[in-house]
Homo-oligomer: A and B are copies of this chain.
């Protein structure tokens, strides 16, 4: 029961009866080996269960072929972005190294570990860092940094974000077309990308000549189900009014779901009495029992864009960071409908 050492190229070489260099050459698909030898080396590698030592490889290699990704497992839309990063990176010849940001494992710790692996670039998804935090990260890490989420174009790091303002505008347009005139916006004030989305609401309402009605919900972003709670609280506030709006919009699906369920539980029919809409098109919005009209910000496209931005900065040394805006699309489901006649 001894712990055997994993096989190296030297072991393969000895097994086949050639030099170690030739094995390296074959496994790198470099020219200069006969087909017969290639076959024998590959067979031996498979037989011995060879797995290249990425540490040794990154040590020798001039430039790294790894993308470091920081993400928060607790947040909902991020897993989909992470999933999209894998094939995008693979298509460009890069490997992915993940590091989680949690309450016991800070963004800085995650970044330090990734830098220890000598990643070629860092992709930070939905980080808790503000602009100055990201800026200093970009400066000290010496590698290109891509922030996925929110922020404005700058010269320190790349940004990939969805067009949250235009998405909300489209949503309001949809409601206005259905005939809604009283559309309330519930704003969980602690939401990172919230300001942009609220602006979209304000702009669209103004364009339609309708009065804005914003319900601002304070709270702690880091709390477990803050968003859903904010929606629920907002629903109770609305229920205390003499008259309900005909439609309610929230800048994320969790808040909208909190609204929806609380309204339904209190005898309000959705969409008959009140239309409800969210943003993100999270899995929860697609449940048949929720079936929420929402705005989809394509997580796959965001992942691909992040990889593209990172690879571009890596391979064209010295180019300026840029901002990539991913278009959103309206997903109409059964939680919105024309308002009842009064």
Which A residues fall within an 8 A CB radius of B? 1-4, 6, 49, 51-59, 73-74, 78-80, 82-83, 86-87, 90, 95-100, 102-105, 112-113, 115-118, 140, 142, 224-225, 228-229, 232, 257-258, 260-262, 264-265, 283-284, 286-290, 317-318
Contacts and interface: CB of A to CB of B under 8 A. Distances in A.
Q: How many identical subunits does the complex contain? A: 2
A51 B112 contact: yes
B284 A54 contact: no
B283 A225 contact: yes
A36 B79 CA distance: 47
B265 A289 contact: yes
A258 B287 contact: yes
A105 to B, nearest CB: 4
B102 A228 contact: no
B264 A288 contact: no
A78 B73 CA distance: 9
A257 B289 contact: yes
Contacts of A284: 284
* Central interface residue in A55, A87, A105, by most chain B CB within 10 Å: A55
Given A86-B100, A98-B100, A140-B49, A232 B116 contact: no
A99 B102 CA distance: 16
Given A1-B317, A73-B73, A83 B104 contact: yes
A289 B318 contact: no
Nearest to A231: B289
Contact of A87 (B1, B104, B265): B104
A53 B66 CA distance: 14
Given A6-B118, A86-B104, 6 more contacts: A49-B142, A55-B117, A83-B103, A224-B286, A261-B289, A264-B264
A9 B4 CA distance: 31
A58 B51 CA distance: 15
A57 to B, nearest CB: 8
A118 B55 contact: yes
A105 B86 contact: yes
14 contacts: A6-B118, A49-B142, A54-B55, A73-B78, A73-B80, A74-B83, A82-B102, A83-B104, A86-B102, A97-B98, A98-B98, A225-B283, A232-B288, A284-B284
* Central interface residue in A52, A90, A100, A287, by most chain B CB within 10 Å: A287
A109 to B, nearest CB: 9
A12 to B, nearest CB: 15
A104 B3 CA distance: 32
Given A98-B100, A262-B289, A56 B59 contact: yes
Nearest to A4: B142
A238 B225 CA distance: 31
A149 to B, nearest CB: 17
Contacts of A116: 51-54
A49 B141 CA distance: 8
B288 A258 contact: yes
